Amino acid sequence: MTISPVKKQKLPDSVVDRLLEVVRSGQFNTGDRLPSERVLAVQLGVSRASLRDALTRLEMLGVLEVRQGDGTFVCSPEGRTLSLPFQGLLRSLPQTAQDLLEFRRILEPEAAALAAERATPAQIASLQACLRQQHVTAAQGLRLSQDDIAFHTLIAQMVGNTVILRVLETLQQVMQDLRSRTLPGQYPEITLREHTRILAAIGNRSPVEARQAMADHLETVVRTAVETPSTSSKGAYDA
Ligand SMILES: [Zn+2]
């Protein structure tokens, strides 16, 4: 039996880890500005390019916000999503998009059912506002991706379960990255119709209908994704 030596960790990952330590050390609060890129690169002992790569990845995770010409600010020390290693694992899997969809089909119908039981009136109002925004976005001929992520995230928030929320947010983020790379276009009218049905079920406090509506929605997503080759210009469907 041969055991290969431990691979040296890629530098960008270690810069990300070190930056996360700095942000979470307690020296910085939400809204604080980090030292300039030049100063940070010197303090961390890395190149400006490695630092920028790490800043971009932490921005994607919602930990930092880079405002051009103004500096880098702390958004949320914990970030929106699960750890980079978990995201890295998902990204490295073959067939990731289909595997992610399958996992969402297991998780999200139950989340929708719990949301129907637990959502506050304010949360339902937020979901209605989100759906209205989707109509505006679709009418402008723009992709629904961001609004779609917001819609599913709001439902995950309604559950009031931190684990479910973090896992779903992370899956959404990874799916969004995959989708924007591989799947052009969409079928907005189908998305809007199915989202409307999900919202109605949650608003009516019907866990059974919410579970079914979400299951049907994700089923459509799977079917459409399979039918749509990545090279096709016909378009894919936002989940
Ligand atoms: Zn959706």
Q: What is the pLDDT of residues 155-204, one digit of tens each?
A: 999 999 988 888 888 887 777 666 655 444 467 888 899 999 999 999 99
What is the 10 CA–ligand 1 centroid distance (Å)? 35
Residue 157 covered by a domain: yes
What is the 147 CA–ligand 1 centroid distance (Å)? 9
Q: Are residues 35 and 107 in the same domain?
A: no
Tell me the C-alpha distance between 8 and 202, whole Å: 49
Q: Per-residue pLDDT for 148 more than 60?
A: yes
pTM of the entire structure? Answer: 0.62
Tell me the C-alpha distance between 213 and 203, whole Å: 13
State residue 226's pLDDT score.
57
Q: Are residues 69 and 117 in the same domain?
A: no
What is the 93 CA–ligand 1 centroid distance (Å)? 23
Residue 234 covered by a domain: no
Q: Are residues 144 and 32 in the same domain?
A: no
Give strand pairing partners of 71: 67
In contact, 90 and 100? CB cutoff 8 Å: yes
For 72, which DSSP code? E
Q: Are residues 39 and 145 in the same domain?
A: no
What is the 229 CA–ligand 1 centroid distance (Å)? 20
Pick the last residue of a domain from 77, 93, 123. Answer: 77
What is the 185 CA–ligand 1 centroid distance (Å)? 15
Q: Are residues 39 and 105 in the same domain?
A: no
Pick the last residue of a domain from 49, 77, 105. Answer: 77
What is the 57 CA–ligand 1 centroid distance (Å)? 25
Q: Are residues 142 and 173 in the same domain?
A: yes
Residue 2 covered by a domain: no
Residue whose token pair is 């378009």: 235
Residue 238 covered by a domain: no
Q: Are residues 93 and 196 in the same domain?
A: yes
Name the percent of the chain lying above pLDDT 90. Answer: 28
For residue 222, what are the contacts with CB-CB under 8 A and spacing of at least 6?
A: 98, 101, 102, 105
What is the 180 CA–ligand 1 centroid distance (Å)? 15
Of 184, 199, 98, whose CA–CA distance to 152 is shortest?
A: 199
What is the 79 CA–ligand 1 centroid distance (Å)? 23
What is the 137 CA–ligand 1 centroid distance (Å)? 14
What digits encode the pLDDT tens for the residues 40-63?
889 888 888 888 888 887 877 778
What is the 67 CA–ligand 1 centroid distance (Å)? 30
What is the 237 CA–ligand 1 centroid distance (Å)? 9
Number of domains the chain is built from:
2
Q: What distance lies between CA 124 and its chain's CA centroid?
A: 21
Tell me the residue range of the domain where 24 lies.
11-77
Residue 34 covered by a domain: yes
Q: Are residues 70 and 120 in the same domain?
A: no
Tell me the C-alpha distance between 3 and 162, whole Å: 38
Tell me the C-alpha distance between 56 and 30, whole Å: 17
Least confident of 71-80, 111-120, 130-139, 213-222: 71-80
What is the 19 CA–ligand 1 centroid distance (Å)? 33
Pick the last residue of a domain from 23, 52, 77. Answer: 77
Residue 231 covered by a domain: no
Query: How would you classify residue 105: left for phi > 0, otherwise alpha for psi between -120 and 50, otherwise beta?
Result: alpha
Mean pLDDT taken over the chain: 80
State residue 234's pLDDT score.
38
What's 176's domain CATH number? 1.20.120.530
